[in-house]
Amino acid sequence: MATNDIISVTPVAEPNWGEAIRLLEQAVKAGNQDPQALYLLAMAYKHQSRAADVRQTLARIADPDANVLLQRGVLAFNEKEWSAAADEFAKSLQKDANSYPAAYNLMLARLCQGQLDGAVATLETLVNLAPSVGEKRFLGLLRSLLGPGGTTSGAEQVLLLSSITLDEEQRLLDMIVGLNQFDVVYRLLAKLVSARPNSEAAFRSYIGAAMLQAKMLMDRGQWSDAELLLAPLKRRLDASNIRGEPMQMIVILNMLGVCSMMSQEFDCSLGHFRAAADAFQRDLSAPGPAGKTDRHINGQGVYLGAWLEQNLALGNEWLNRMDIAESHWNRHLDYLEHYIPRSLPPDYLGNLAFECSSRLADIFSRKEKWTSAAHFLQRAHRIRPADYETLERLFHMYTQLKRTEDARKILRRLREVKPNDPQAELFELEVREVRKLDEVDTLIADLRRIAQRFPNDARVEERGAAIVNNVMPTMERIADQYAAQVNKVVDQMRRLPSYQINWPTVRDIMRDMEDKYLLLRRVAQKCLAHVTSDEVRKELHKLISHCDRKIDQCHSLGE
């Protein structure tokens, strides 16, 4: 059997960086300050991603050579300290003029600083150091992107860019997109797209870079600058022969809508949002692979349709088109609730939907659109069935709308959530139908009982005052009815001669009216114990004085 047919079974040794660090650290602590030992220790730290230790160890080398300077430059570059990185790479190149890594990294650092002239100058040196023909060609492609110069004409450079392979294009794109300077990235990608108008990868990278920059501008509140970048981008997408990613157009339209809205150009923003929603619906209806909808859901589980509906709702809300806004808000909430099982963290979408529903209930309440307010409170209650505050608001809403049965159902739920809460008992008093004086008397007696059970409870005092305030019109109406009955008898007595008056009947009526006024006076007196408003107290005293006068009148006629 030939030796080259033998399969090796000898295991390949894996570097034990931990052990290497231990031994090298011992050597250094023992006084070994040899630059090679320190360099090896720094590289061992590097393999374990201990950047701070690498930096500290390399700094201890008194007379750093080209390799040490190169590694220091790489450290600075990784931490985006472009100026410091460029200095270290330049020093490394001075120590070793034939170092291709130092020259290449120096060119990258200058590009990241936006120093195009410096990068081009470095490229002129770099081409001569290229280790292979393929690398030299790649550098030539990059030189063509950076601009005309050297011995190659502009036409030759365009021709060179149009002839690149897919692998070369992808390497160029990876390098360009990784640069820090948007102005440089955008310029290079724009030139690449112009030279390769049919390249889908280049076009998408160009659009993506511009969108990322626009997002950064928006995050800084530079709405006009972002819009100036996005508007021509949209036109270029519309005019391109390349079928772009549908999501890019949707996102660009949505971002344009946000920029217009934040600039208070609401009609314009709604136009962008509607266009984004239409593009989104077209993308949904277009044929695609299974699970296509997943790309419309972000990392927190929020569906893209929910954001679009929210933006449309806010735009119409700010234009006070509340009926249109309401329909969009409902669709927004439908989407949120539908995707609650996919929420990350698990309570995120539920909280979002609940807060949105609560906010809308407040807005529609302030506009006195009670039916809409009740609808959004119901949505909030469905999301958090045991939320006491929502139950309480819903109870008052049903009371406001005279939906007594619905109010009683919510009241039962309130008692289940907080069995010993005095609020629930007070709410029960609020839904009672009080038309007669004895019903008012019973109501005030129950209120007094609750106040005695929960002394010094501010909520009981507040709700008690509200209940008294609510029954005041009923007592005043009853007082008016009593006064009308007494006045009717008195008027009849004045029109008849004394001998024609049926005095026994008059006395019976007046004694009965006296008893009624006495009861009304007692009820009004009881109400005073629960009143906190000076105005209501004044009205009660006025009612009590009225009863006193009528009691005297009835008593004098009933004797």
DSSP states of 254-309 as a string?
HHHHHHHHHTT-HHHHHHHHHHHHHHHHHHHHS---TTGGGGGB-TT--BHHHHHH
Within-domain flag for 423: no
Nearest partner of 307 among 280, 284, 283, judged by Cα: 280
Specify if 55 maps to a domain. no
Rounded CA separation 164/140 (Å): 11
Does residue 531 fall inside a structural domain? yes
SS (H, E, C) 189-252: HHHHHHHCCCCHHHHHHHHHHHHHHHHHHHHCCCHHHHHHHHHHHHHHHHHCCCCCCHHHHHHH
CA 461/CA 425 separation, integer angstroms = 13
Under the banding of pLDDT at 50, 70 and 90, the label for residue 1 is very low
More confidently predicted of 23 and 437: 437
What pLDDT band is residue 426 in, cutting at 50, 70 and 90? confident
Give residue 60's pLDDT.
82
272 part of a folded domain? no
pLDDT at residue 11, as a whole number: 45
Residue 301, domain member (yes or no): no
Q: Which residues 6+ apart lie within 8 Å of 277 measured at CB?
A: 305, 308, 309, 312
Domain assignment of residue 92, yes or no: yes
Q: Which two tokens stand for residue 278?
A: 């239409």
* Structure tokens given for 262: 């934040």
Q: Which of 29-38, 322-331, 492-501 has the least mean pLDDT? A: 29-38
Which of 160, 195, 230 is at the close of a domain? 195
For residue 315, is pLDDT > 70?
A: yes
Which range is most confident: 3-12, 79-88, 356-365, 480-489? Answer: 356-365
- Which pLDDT score, from 0 to 100, does residue 292 have? 67
3-state SS class at 131: coil
Residue where one domain finishes, among candidates 168, 195, 222: 195
Task: Please list the helix, strand and coil fractions of the chain in percent, rounded to the nearest 5, in that order.
Answer: 80, 0, 20
DSSP-assigned beta bridge partners for residue 303: 297
In a domain, 123, yes or no: yes
Q: What pLDDT, on the 0 to 100 scale, is given for residue 295?
A: 81
Q: What is the C-alpha to C-alpha distance for residues 127 and 133, in angstroms, rounded to an integer?
A: 10
Is 557 in contact with 510 (CB distance < 8 Å)? yes
Whether pLDDT at 368 is above 70:
yes
Please state, rounded to an integer, the average pLDDT across all residues of the chain: 85
CA distances from 185 to 100, 178, 208, 234 (A): 23, 8, 11, 19
Q: Is residue 71 part of a domain?
A: yes
Q: What CATH number does the domain containing 153 carry?
A: 1.25.40.10
Q: Kindly report the backbone phi and psi dihedral angles of residue 207, in degrees, each rounded to the nearest multiple of 5, phi listed first.
A: -65, -45
> What's this model's pTM, rounded to 2 decimal places?
0.69
Which one of 195, 229, 250 terminates a domain?
A: 195
> What tokens were used for 296?
């419309």
Count of domains observed in the chain: 2
- Domain range for 535: 477-558
What are the tokens at 43?
Answer: 């590289």
